[in-house]
């Protein structure tokens, strides 16, 4: 029985299925925002290669994106909470109105039921007032969401340029580190028995775990590691006695020669990659 | 620093020490973009029914639209940031010339 027909008006308008659809959409949005944020956070979390002075600006910039995602996510979560409150109230009020509609319909044609009908209509009107107040709260919640979304859309024109500069600075820091630590790096690489190139030294050092060696075999390794702009992972490996970092977790690096051109330059000799010896292209993966 | 291998005609730039990590950062930014696309699709591709009073319905419709726009702005930001990381890791690419 339709309230409009029996009562002359619907005091509690609203489609429950529509509420559910909005709720599911907000849920999908929350999940997407959370996935996006957590993926980004996992790359810059404590212990990542970006930990430390050289990587800190990059972490800071990524956090600017992450915080925007989180702010939006929080706003949607709060709005969905308000929507769920609305849904609960809507169900309850519509159930009560359905009872009133049924009672009013049953009283039709009964000459002595006028007073009862008026009382029921009064109850329906009260429910309508409650409904209007709850709807105003719902509207306010979504208006707040609009405002917080607008905050997110405010341009951060500097971010991309900042990231570019931070990455350039990191590269310079790494180059500076190679220049400073070159001899020690070569010594370390030789000590590991595989001069695969400076660019794999970190992988090699971490991969030492898989080779069953111990850090102390290469003099100065830990000191070199400690000064590296991207040394945290190695420091962590040292602290874990080289046992817990599996080689498959390490990055792969592809090189044209078995002897690194970088290593050769740092060592003061010409790169050997173009030699007739024809070194094969090595793929050095995971330091193993 | 380029190294030529005449046997294979492949030119390789040694990968920067942090190249892999920067690429991982770029991949995370790509994933941000992908997830935001999922959110935008969800927000823009469902029929909005009347769920309350006209004022509340209008607020809901406007908020979902604003939310989709915000996700779009963040997606552009992550796309642009990912492009920067790609540019910084290009030195590690193998150019089969």
Model-level pTM?
0.70
With 0-12 CB in 10 A as exposed, 13-18 as middle and 19+ as buried, what is A108?
Answer: exposed
Range 58-97 of B in CB contact (< 8 A) with A: 58-60, 62-64, 66-67, 69-71, 73-74, 77-78, 80-81, 84-85, 87-88, 94
Which chain B residue lies closest to A89 (C-alpha atoms)? B52
ipTM of the complex: 0.79
User: DSSP secondary structure string, A3-64?
Assistant: HHHHHSS-SS---HHHHHHHHHHHHHHHHHHHHHHHHHHHHHSTTSTT-STTTHHHHHHHHH
Band the pLDDT of A190: cuts 50, 70, 90: low
Smallest Cβ–Cβ distance between B15 and the set A17, A33, A199 belongs to A199
* Per-residue confidence in pLDDT tens, chain B, 97 aa: 333 334 443 333 333 455 677 888 999 999 999 999 999 999 998 778 889 999 999 999 999 999 999 999 999 999 999 999 988 876 544 333 2
Condensed to tens digits (0 to 9), the pLDDT of residues A66-104 reads 999 999 999 999 999 999 999 999 999 999 999 999 998
Q: What residues have CB less than 8 Å from A268, skipping those under 6 apart?
A: none
Taking alpha carbons only, the member of A19, A33, A32 closest to residue A80 is: A19
Rounded distance between C-alpha atoms, residue A181 and residue A187, angstroms: 10
| B12 reaches A (C-beta below 8 A) | yes
Interchain proximity A32–B8, CB inside 8 Å: no
Q: What residues have CB less than 8 Å from A30, skipping those under 6 apart?
A: A73, A76, A77, A80
Q: Rounded to the nearest 10 degrees, what angle do helices B54-89 and A16-44 cross at?
A: 20
């Amino acid at each position: 029985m339709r309230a409009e027909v029996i009562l002359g008006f619907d005091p509690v308008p609203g489609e429950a299925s529509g509420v559910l659809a909005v709720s599911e959409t907000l849920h999908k949005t929350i999940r997407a925002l959370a996935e996006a944020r957590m993926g980004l956070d996992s790359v810059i979390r404590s212990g990542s290669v970006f930990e430390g002075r050289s990587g800190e600006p990059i972490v800071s910039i990524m956090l600017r994106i992450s915080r925007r995602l989180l702010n939006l996510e929080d706003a949607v979560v709060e709005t969905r909470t308000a929507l769920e409150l609305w849904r609960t109230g809507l169900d309850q009020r519509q159930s009560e109105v359905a009872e009133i509609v049924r009672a009013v319909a049953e009283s039709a044609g009964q000459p002595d039921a006028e007073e009862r009908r008026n009382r029921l209509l009064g109850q329906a009107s009260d429910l309508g007032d409650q409904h209007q107040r709850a709807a105003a709260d719902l509207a306010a919640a979504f208006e707040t969401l609009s405002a917080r979304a607008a905050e997110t859309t405010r341009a951060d024109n500097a971010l991309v340029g900042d990231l570019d500069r931070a990455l350039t600075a990191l590269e310079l820091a790494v180059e500076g580190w190679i220049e400073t630590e070159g001899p020690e790096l070569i010594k370390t690489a030789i000590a590991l028995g595989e001069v695969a190139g400076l660019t794999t030294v970190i992988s090699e050092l971490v991969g030492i775990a898989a080779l069953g060696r111990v850090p102390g075999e290469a003099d100065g390794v830990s000191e070199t590691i400690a000064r590296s702009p991207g040394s945290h992972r190695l420091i962590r490996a040292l602290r874990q006695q080289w046992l817990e970092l599996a080689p498959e977790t390490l990055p792969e690096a592809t090189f044209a020669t078995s002897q690194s051109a970088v290593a050769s330059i740092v060592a003061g000799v010409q790169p050997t990659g173009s030699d007739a010896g024809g070194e094969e292209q090595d793929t050095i993966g995971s330091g193993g | 620093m380029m190294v030529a291998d005449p046997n294979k005609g492949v030119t390789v730039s040694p990968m920067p020490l942090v190249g892999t990590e920067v690429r991982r950062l770029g991949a995370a930014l790509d994933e941000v973009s992908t997830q935001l696309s999922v959110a935008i699709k969800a927000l823009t591709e469902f029929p909005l029914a009347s769920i309350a009073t006209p004022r509340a319905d209008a607020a809901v419709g406007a908020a979902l639209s604003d939310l989709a726009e915000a996700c779009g702005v963040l997606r552009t930001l992550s796309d642009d940031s990912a492009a920067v990381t790609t540019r910084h890791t290009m030195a590690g690419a193998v150019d089969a010339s």
